[in-house]
Amino acid sequence: METKGKTKFLSVWHNVKYSWALKPKTSFSRNSPVLLLGKCYHFKAEEDEGQTEACREASDEEGVMGNVEDFRRDFGSRIWLTYREEFPPLPGSSLTSDCGWGCMLRAGQMMLAQALLLHFLGRDWTWSGAMSLQPLDTETWTTSAAKRLVASLESSLQASPGPSDPVVSQRQVAGSGEEAGVHTDGGFHRTLVSWFGDSPSAQFGLHRMVRLGLAMGKRAGEWYGPAVVAHILKKAVEEARDPCLAGISSYVSQDCTVYSADVIDSHKASASAPASASPDSRAVIILVPVRLGGEKTNPDYFNLAKSFLSLDYCIGIIGGKPKQACYFVGFQDDSLIYMDPHYCQSFVDVSTSDFPLQSFHCPSPKKMPFTKMDPSCTFGFYSRSAQDFERIKHELTELLQPSAKEKYPAFIFVQGHGRDYDLSASLSPEKREWPFIRDPRRSGSTVGDFVLL
């Protein structure tokens, strides 16, 4: 009984903590370009005709020049997935919220969502409601959080859950009304978001991720590292049942090595594909778990991360800073731009035809110095075809060439299949592909693990 009460109190505390953990507005320089998943934006005033060399180079490489409004529209169109509460219990547990522990899973979901946006809608797609997103309001969030805290504690003191009214945040109520005029984006954007709903039936929802994690010894309520999440995403894509998803697969590198023949095989159409499908008709999400240093990220890798985030086929980086996971989508100067999953929002039933979309799009980006970046992370890339992969492999190999200071590249490409080089056939597939996945039987943790807040 005491344990139950403690669990409930921690759950309530996390819900409140992440409902009002709002930060000051993010500041951007007008003198430096901003890179967002392969697109370049400059915030200089219109009368300033000068532009930096970095942005000019990005423009020459098919990056997109733009102003503040264009950046806001682009950033606001990315899918934002955060902590939620009051959803159906997760597999193998009684948890109905992921506050305080699910941030890496949410970051992985956001990376996968970006890959699907690229696959189905293209990099130039933007959501018509992006410009109507409102900044997160501290008073609204703290008020609703306090009400939830009081109600939950009262229920606990009564020693019985008791009936409770469903919680709907004020922000979501407002969002529903604001969206009345922006539902003309077409149904597919809404369908894509619904795949990430917090219900057992959602293709890439938290319930599916947790169920797949159970096979790796990870349970709901535990922390997940970026390498583990990469394997969970791969399995989720492999098991996806929606016919729309038959044209996409996923590949996770092995020991910081991308085996080209394995990626080419992943591009080949599955047995269930239509007879008219071309032999390499499937797109591939390439996930590369890496460790960029020891206790801290080696500064020599900062420029590499910048180079990757400047590519239009990069789908971002899942990682974070010590104790917090996030989804990196861009940079300006020496700061990473990221989407933060550490906000607790109310459950949204995505099975309805007109569920509100506002809470799935982030109104404000966050920035973090590269020096605070945790060395354990996973890079993501999207390859549309086998021919596309050959180009990607060539470009990334050029970028991965070690500088004079670096001894080793972050990862490498080699010809052939992984099994051709396999010296550890007795290991499980997960351990063979990535040696830093934590053995659930070990009580200790590795330097690459993320701890709970």
Its pTM stands at 0.79
**Confidence (pLDDT) at 134:** 82
Using 50, 70 and 90 to split pLDDT, how confident is the model at 136?
Answer: low
Distance CA 62, CA 310 (A): 10
Q: Are 380 and 286 in contact (CB under 8 A)?
A: yes
Mean pLDDT of 92-112: 96
Is the model's pLDDT at 344 over the cut of 60?
yes
**Confidence (pLDDT) at 47:** 42
Lowest mean pLDDT among 35-49, 63-77, 139-153: 139-153
| Torsion (CA) 93, 95, 99, 102 in degrees, nearest 10 | 30
Domain ranges in the chain are 1-421
- Both tokens assigned to 291: 């460790």
Is the model's pLDDT at 354 over the cut of 80?
yes
Out of 342, 361, 362, 377, pick the active-site residue. Answer: 342
| Torsion (CA) 381, 269, 241, 252 in degrees, nearest 10 | -30
- Which residue has better confidence, 24 or 243? 243
Lowest mean pLDDT among 221-230, 379-388, 422-431: 422-431
- Sequence-ordered list of residues with C-beta below 8 angstroms from that of 416, at least 6 positions apart, any chain: 259, 260, 261
- Both tokens assigned to 234: 């791969």
How many of the other CB atoms lie within 10 Å of CB of 10?
14
Is the model's pLDDT at 430 over the cut of 90?
no
**Confidence (pLDDT) at 420:** 83
Strands 345-346 and 84-85: parallel
- Which residue has better confidence, 439 or 258? 258
Percent of the chain with pLDDT over 90: 59
**Confidence (pLDDT) at 67:** 85
Mean pLDDT of 228-242: 96
Using 50, 70 and 90 to split pLDDT, how confident is the model at 247?
Answer: very high
Using 50, 70 and 90 to split pLDDT, how confident is the model at 138?
Answer: very low
- Which residue has better confidence, 340 or 2? 340
**Confidence (pLDDT) at 449:** 36
Percent of the chain with pLDDT over 70: 68
Lowest mean pLDDT among 130-144, 163-177, 192-206, 272-286: 163-177
- Which residue has better confidence, 113 or 172? 113
**Confidence (pLDDT) at 452:** 31
Mean pLDDT of 226-239: 96
Using 50, 70 and 90 to split pLDDT, how confident is the model at 185?
Answer: very low
Using 50, 70 and 90 to split pLDDT, how confident is the model at 25?
Answer: confident
Distance CA 4, CA 8 (A): 6
**Confidence (pLDDT) at 426:** 45
394 is catalytic: no
Query: For 117-131, what is each residue's pLDDT tens digit?
Result: 999 999 999 999 999
Distance CA 418, CA 174 (A): 51
103 is catalytic: yes
- Both tokens assigned to 324: 């917090």
Report the amino acid identity of residue 132.
S
DSSP 79-96: B----EESPSPPTTS---
**Confidence (pLDDT) at 272:** 58
Element holding 59 (H helix, E strand): helix 53-60
- Both tokens assigned to 382: 């999207």
**Confidence (pLDDT) at 14:** 53
The one-character DSSP state at 449 is P
Is the model's pLDDT at 281 over the cut of 70?
yes
Query: To the nearest whole number, what is the mean pLDDT of the chain?
Result: 78
Strands 283-291 and 248-252: parallel
Out of 40, 340, 361, 362, pick the active-site residue. Answer: 340
Mean pLDDT of 75-103: 95
Out of 40, 55, 99, 103, pick the active-site residue. Answer: 103
Is the model's pLDDT at 148 over the cut of 90?
no
**Confidence (pLDDT) at 130:** 92
- Which residue has better confidence, 25 or 136? 25
Is the model's pLDDT at 108 over the cut of 70?
yes
Exposed, middle or buried: residue 403 (CB in 10 Å: 0-12, 13-18, 19+)?
A: exposed
- Which residue has better confidence, 15 or 41? 41
Distance CA 327, CA 180 (A): 29
**Confidence (pLDDT) at 140:** 38
- Both tokens assigned to 2: 């005491």
Using 50, 70 and 90 to split pLDDT, how confident is the model at 337?
Answer: very high
**Confidence (pLDDT) at 419:** 87
417 is catalytic: no
